[in-house]
Structures are given as C-alpha cells and as structure tokens.
Amino acid sequence: ALKARPANPLEFIGKYLLPKVSMEVTTVVTKPIAGQKPGTSGLRQKTRTFMGESYLQNFVQSVFDALVSEGVAVKGGTLCVSGDGRYFNSTAIQIIIKMAAAAGVTRVWCGTGGLLSTPAMSAVIRTRDPAGGAAPIGGFILSASHNPGGIDEDFGIKYNGENGGPAPEKLTDKIYKNTTTIAEYKICSGLPDVALDAPAKHKLADGFEVVVFPCVEDHVALLKKVFDFGAIKKLFERKDFSMIYDSMNGVQGPYAKAIFYGEFGAAPGSCINAEPKEDFGGHDSPSHGHADPNLTHAVELVAAMGLNKMGLPIETPKPPPSFGAAADGDADRNMIMGSKFFCSPSDSLAVIVANAQCIPWYKGGLKACARSMPTSMATDLVAKKLGIPFFEVPTGWKFFGNLMDSGSAAFPNSPSYIPFICGEESFGTGGDHVREKDGMWAVLAWLQILAAKNTDPSKPLVGVADVVMAHWAEYGRNYYARYDYDGVDKAAAEKMMAAMVAEQPKLIGTTINGMTISSADMFEYNDSVDGSISKNQGIRFMFSDGSRFVFRLSGTGVVGATIRLYLEKYTPPTGDLSLHAFDVIKPLGEIALQVSKLVEFTGRTEPSVIT
C-alpha cells in the first residue's frame, strides 16, 4: 500500500526537506584550559587559540555558570551578542547563540552584520526597548579593542552586565575560577546559523528567537539625547569648517557615516576607512592593521591633519581640515586633532570637563569628574575651580562605572542620575550616558563645544588649538607623554617593578639631575562605593615642582609584558606653554630610566611607541 502523504504540502516540506531545527541540548565533555583569566578588559588571546577546541565554549559556559550562581535570570532572559567585526566575529556569534539557547536564554539580540561598537553595546543593554520581552541581562562583546585582528592576530571576549558596564572583578574572578574547574559545556548544536546581514526576527524554535536590529539605532538615538545635533549641524554649515574622521576599518564606520553624513551633512570624503574589515586593513594598510587612534598608528589622519608621528607640523598640499578625529577597533577610544594640532587625551578630558555646560546632558551642572591615576592632573585643576567632586581611579573603565552607579553612596546630595564625565590617558573619554568609554561621544562633545564657540558666522573659526590654548592660558599646561615598551620579557618586567618598589622609600628626598623626589608610592585604590581595595595599580614618583612619572604593566597585552612609563610636567599659565610635549618631558624620562634601570632589566634602549 502507498504511504499516506501529508495533505498539506508545507507540512511535507517542513518534515522532510528543511534542515532539522532542534532545541535539543548537547552536553560536551571538556577540560580546563589554562590562562583564561580576564585582563583589564576581558579575555584576549591569539585568534587561533580562540578557534581551538572548546576555548571559546569553555569561557562562555564559565560566564553562564557564574551568572547563574550570582542569581542572574539567565533562563528566560534576553542576551545581547555582537562584536567589532574582526576575524572570527561571526563564527563566535553563532557558537554563542547556540550556547545561549542551551543555557535557557529565550532571546538573543544582535547588531546587523554581528556588529556593535563597545559603547553601542552598552547603550543597547541600557536603553533598547525590550518590546514586551525581558530586559537584557547583559551582553558579550567580541573584541580585542585596538589589538590587530586576523587569523594570526588577536581576538577577545568580554561580558558586560545589566548596567551596560564591564563585569565587576567579583564576577570576573568567579568566571576565571569556573574556567579552572569546567568539565562540560552545553550547546544546542541542532540550531541553524542565523543570517545577521539584515534586520529580522528569527524565531528558531518555540521559546527561542534571535533579533537582528540596525547596529547604529540605539547608540545614535541615545547620543541625540546627550547632544544638540541641530547646533552641531550649524557648525558643519560654516564654509570655514571641515572635518575628517578615521574609523580605521574598525566597527565605527557605520556609526560615523550615519552621524557625519546622515545627521550633519558632512562633505563627501569626510569619513575615511569607514568599512569594517576583519583585519582592520591588515599589514599593508597605513596603520599596519593597528586600529588604534594615536600619533603612531592613525597614520592617514595624522598626515591629513598636517603632523608627523612626533606631533610636529609638516607641509601639506592644501590646508588641513579644521577638525580631525579617529576611533579604535571597537570604537570606545578617540583621538582629537585640530589643523596641525594634536590634543592629548588628558587635555581633551580637562577641556571637555571645563566646557561641560555647552553639552545639553550636563546643562543642569556636572556633578563629578574622574580620571585614571596615570592620566595627567589637568582635570584636577578644573574640578577644583568648578568645586565639584573629583576621583582618581586605577586604569580600567569599570572603576568609573562603579562611581556612576553609586547614586547616593558617593554623592549624598545627588539623585541616582549622576551627570559625570571621566577619561583616561589611553585615548578614552566618556560620560554617564553609558558605562563604557565612548569614542563617538568624545568627538561629539568637542563638536558641541566648537559649535558653542562659533555661533557668529562673520567671525573667524575658533578651532581645537584655540580652545586648548585658551584652556592652558587659564589653568596652565600639564606637558605629558607616554613611553611604551612592548613585548618585553614578563619576568624581567616584573623584576624591574619589584626592584623599584623596594627602592622607593630610599629615594624620597633625593635629588636626581636637579629634580627632587618629594614622594613615591605604589598606587592603591579604595573604592568609596563598594569598599573594595585594588592594590599594585602603578608605581608613582612625584617631584617637588609638581612633575611626576609613573610605571605600570599593561593589563591588555597578549604577548609578554608591556611596560608603560607616563611622564608629566606642569607649567603654570605664566610659563612657556607653547613647547613640544615630547621635548619638555624628555629630561624627566631620563630620570625615570635611571631610577627604574629599565635598560639593564629589559635590554630595551628605545620605547616601541611614544604617545
């Protein structure tokens, strides 16, 4: 007898021809992999390591387990997953979607193309309309920030919680602990891969869907609440204003185009390197694949703005644009430039804080500001003048987030909404609209300030250099530079640091090359919000004239150790404010090398990068 065929042909197709969609959970046996301890900003490793058997899976499972043990409602929850578009981004997203399904997550949010910048992820977690579903429990950001991307370069993953900020140390410690004992992970391997190229709602099974939404949507909407886009548009309408923005082939491209072309009508060609690439342009590109906005790596922008990598003016075929800026791979960093002028990140922070009243979000008054310890002390002077609380925290954005979230704890007279601005020397600046540093925010802050200073079209344009020089004339100038020694032998670097700590007490009061060390210590931070103590956050040497130098080991490197030496010399408004920063801090650098015995310990005679 003939077998009965289903009466409905669609049922027939669904039963026999469509790929099998199954929510069946597979338990895969695994074992711990050494070295999965998250650093300053998540877990970063060589891409091939991440592609290795179970490497990503072990870490993701360890996150889910840590969340469950913290009481986070993973089951039935909404989770966001996206990255900066580097090599392995889309593959990793598909794996995490299937593991999220196995962990009981009912909805995954993804930016189009699997893209979300780090600040956009924070904005999505904090502000995206849950559309009747559960608000997100947090999100995975797939990025190694400014580290090069590619199969032979770096990959990274970071978990941000429901406040949109990096997981606190308590959680990352738990995650790490889980990676050392993990025995199995769970995955719905019967789920198909999801198309991420266009906005869509993919209902994969009963109780599990993946929603792909335009990656720029929520971040741009939030920035429109922070800034007066209309006023900035007027600046773009001035004939004497022009700009260039370098997305360095990182994730910022779509955001840059949406804002500069879409909102402000910037001239064609204003956005360069605005196509996200898996290798950020690779070795043969001008940045050699280093999507890192600084004088060394943002080669095209720096040249277009009329400077060389030492920050010195060069001849240009036509006058440089009036404003220039760049972002890193995941677009949380920024570099600000004027025509033949580089604004150091520390100065940028101080200027933004001093001019915060130009930004609508801060109209009601800035309640507090903060900087990381190695960032120059220029902002301290502004905070003092404004009479607002000021905080000095260790390197790492999570410390700022804690202060912003503290509500009444750190600011007894403030409501939980805290107009806050903070920043770091490492080209990161931002506010309390999200819980990450925000490359686009910093640029818009500058454009808003310029817009406010250029309301009269009949007057010549007030540019970045004019604003910064007026700032120095008022507060004095904190000459500043950072020397980086990359890929140093880790043991040698640690020995050098330990030796310096041991020497510190003996050096206080001594004079080297005519400069007297007035104090020296290892920076330690007592978090006024949660009472936690962070030790070993950098070796400080202060001089009687207000200069200082600081040594720290980077927490974001992948190979060996990176030694960072931060140099700062204060000159009051009455002093010479127009010197070149690298020249001014050079003698201080020599003292630092002498004190640290860096050459003896590491064999390095020159820094790899000066910024």
Residue of the chain from 58, 147, 273, 426 that contacts ligand G6P (CB under 6 A): 426
Residues 533-562 within binding reach of ligand G6P (CB under 6 A): 554-556
Instruction: Indicate which of ligand G6P, Zn ion, none lies near residue 463 (CB less than 5 to 8 Å, by partner kind).
Output: none
Our finding on whether 122 is near ligand G6P (CB under 6 A) is: no
Instruction: Indicate which of ligand G6P, Zn ion, none lies near residue 41 (CB less than 5 to 8 Å, by partner kind).
Output: ligand G6P
- For Zn ion, the nearest residue by Cβ is 145
**CB-neighbour burial class of residue 610 (10 A; exposed 0-12, middle 13-18, buried 19+):** buried
Q: For residues 171 and 149, what is the distance between their CA atoms, to the nearest angstrom?
A: 27
Please, what is the Cα angle at 452 between 447 and 455, to 5 degrees? Answer: 115
Our finding on whether 395 is near ligand G6P (CB under 6 A) is: yes
Shortest Å distance, C-beta 89 to ligand G6P: 18
Residue 432 backbone zone (phi > 0: left; psi -120 to 50: alpha; other: beta):
alpha
Contact 561, 489 (CB under 8 A): yes
Cα 497 versus chain centre, distance: 26
Residues that bind Zn ion (CB under 5 A): 145, 328, 330, 332-333
Q: Identify which of residues 65 and 432 has a Cβ nearer to ligand G6P in the complex.
A: 432
Q: For residues 138 and 300, what is the distance between their CA atoms, to the nearest angstrom?
A: 36
Show the tokens assigned to 175.
Answer: 């995650």
Shortest Å distance, C-beta 214 to Zn ion: 22
Residues 563-582 within binding reach of ligand G6P (CB under 6 A): 564
Handedness of CA 245, 352, 148, 374 (dihedral sign): positive
Q: For residues 182 and 304, what is the distance between their CA atoms, to the nearest angstrom?
A: 51
Shortest Å distance, C-beta 403 to ligand G6P: 14
Point out the catalytic residue in the list 117, 145, 247, 287: 145
Where do we find the tokens 């490793």? 45
Shortest Å distance, C-beta 579 to ligand G6P: 26
Strand partners, 326: 246, 335
x/- site string to ligand G6P, residues 158 to 177, per CB under 6 A? --------------------
**Binding-site residue total for ligand G6P (CB under 6 A)?**
13
Contact 201, 209 (CB under 8 A): yes
Instruction: Indicate which of Zn ion, ligand G6P, none lies near residue 347 (CB less than 5 to 8 Å, by partner kind).
Output: none
Q: Identify which of residues 160 and 355 has a Cβ nearer to ligand G6P in the complex.
A: 160
Q: Which residues contact 467 (CB under 8 A, 6 or more apart)?
A: 351, 355, 449, 450, 453
Q: For residues 350 and 373, what is the distance between their CA atoms, to the nearest angstrom?
A: 14
Shortest Å distance, C-beta 243 to ligand G6P: 24
Our finding on whether 424 is near ligand G6P (CB under 6 A) is: yes
Instruction: Indicate which of ligand G6P, Zn ion, none lies near residue 484 (CB less than 5 to 8 Å, by partner kind).
Output: none
Shortest Å distance, C-beta 481 to ligand G6P: 15
Show the tokens assigned to 568.
Answer: 């700062």
Instruction: Indicate which of Zn ion, ligand G6P, none lies near residue 555 (CB less than 5 to 8 Å, by partner kind).
Output: ligand G6P
Our finding on whether 397 is near ligand G6P (CB under 6 A) is: yes
Phi, psi of 457 (to 5 degrees): -65, -15
145 is catalytic: yes
Instruction: Indicate which of Zn ion, ligand G6P, none lies near residue 45 (CB less than 5 to 8 Å, by partner kind).
Output: none
Q: What is the CA radius of gyration of the chain?
A: 25
Choices 63-71, 129-137, 255-263, 394-402 (CB under 6 A): range interacting with ligand G6P: 394-402
Instruction: Indicate which of ligand G6P, Zn ion, none lies near residue 330 (CB less than 5 to 8 Å, by partner kind).
Output: Zn ion
Q: Identify which of residues 178 and 252 has a Cβ nearer to Zn ion in the complex.
A: 252
Q: Identify which of residues 87 and 397 has a Cβ nearer to ligand G6P in the complex.
A: 397
Q: Identify which of residues 340 and 371 has a Cβ nearer to Zn ion in the complex.
A: 371
Where helices occur in 549-597 by DSSP H, the ranges are: 581-584, 586-596
Choices 53-61, 104-112, 395-403, 449-457 (CB under 6 A): range interacting with ligand G6P: 395-403
Choices 78-86, 126-134, 389-397, 603-611 (CB under 6 A): range interacting with ligand G6P: 389-397
Shortest Å distance, C-beta 232 to Zn ion: 24
Q: Identify which of residues 121 and 307 has a Cβ nearer to Zn ion in the complex.
A: 121
Our finding on whether 330 is near ligand G6P (CB under 6 A) is: no
Sheet bearing 368-372, strands edge to edge: 390-393, 368-372, 420-424, 428-431
Instruction: Please give the sequence-ordered ranges of beta strands (E in DSSP) within 58-177, or none if there are none.
Output: 78-83, 107-111, 136-142, 154-160
Contact 397, 168 (CB under 8 A): no
Element of type H or E holding 472: helix 464-475
Q: For residues 267 and 256, what is the distance between their CA atoms, to the nearest angstrom?
A: 13
Q: For residues 55 and 45, what is the distance between their CA atoms, to the nearest angstrom?
A: 10
Choices 134-142, 189-197, 252-260, 422-430 (CB under 6 A): range interacting with ligand G6P: 422-430
Our finding on whether 396 is near ligand G6P (CB under 6 A) is: yes
Instruction: Indicate which of ligand G6P, Zn ion, none lies near residue 396 (CB less than 5 to 8 Å, by partner kind).
Output: ligand G6P
Q: For residues 211 and 110, what is the distance between their CA atoms, to the nearest angstrom?
A: 6
In the chain, the amino acid numbered 163 is N
**Site residues (CB under 6 A) for ligand G6P?**
40-41, 145, 395-397, 424, 426, 428, 554-556, 564
Q: Catalytic residue positions? A: 145
